[in-house]
Amino acid sequence: MSSTLNRNKLYIILLIACFAGYIWIYYNYAYNLDNFTNGVNTCIIKQVTGIPCPSCGATRSILSLLQNNLAEALYWNPIGIILVIIMIVSPVWIVFDYIQKKDSLYVFYRRFEILFRNKYIAGIAIFLVLANWIWNIQKGL
């Protein structure tokens, strides 16, 4: 069996990731409502270097969003908003594809990958991530 990324494998990875995300968010939502300071720190970069990584604060961002606080969600980390959209859309899309026996999400994913191989789009994306990272370090997440 080849281990290259085909439709079913991508969908399984996405579903596992989304499911893990739901559990993680539920865990944080249920146990760490006070200021989110005593949560479990899973970030390897932060534990090794003490500097937050570009996506640190995404959990706090999603939790703020759950409390209808969009401004705070954007402050913690804009990546949280992107993750929420992915976590909501992709399971629905996968179920849709599964019922219709299509591979529209897989085709979309491949197009998206090709899009990010364009050097200008990749450059903009890298710039945004770096800017977000610098902002994270300034905020001291």
Partner 1 sequence: MEPQKVDLFIMTNGKYFESNHLIPIRDRLLEMDDSKWGIIQTLQFKDPTISLIISLLGGSLGIDRFFIGDTGLGIGKLLTCGGLGVWAVVDWFLIMGATREKNMEKLRQVI
**Could you list the residues that contact partner 1 (CB under 8 A)?**
2-5, 13, 17, 20-21, 24, 42-45, 53-56, 58, 79, 82-83, 86, 109, 112-113, 116-117, 129
Smaller CB separation from partner 1, 4 or 37: 4
CB of 54 to partner 1, least distance (A): 7
Taking the least distance from each CB to partner 1, the nearer of 5 and 95 is 5
Helix H or strand E segment including 101: none
DSSP 10-67: HHHHHHHHHHHHHHHHHHHHHH-TTTT-SS----HHHHHHSSPPTTTTHHHHHHHHHT
Residue in 22, 5, 133 with CA at minimum distance from that of residue 88: 22
In the bound complex, what is the minimum distance in angstroms from residue 84's beta carbon to partner 1? 11
Among residues 79, 78, 95, 77, which one has the least CA distance to residue 140?
A: 77
Closest distance of CB 75 from partner 1, Å: 18
Of 5 and 33, which has the nearer Cβ to partner 1?
Answer: 5
Nearer to partner 1 (CB atom), residue 96 or residue 116: 116
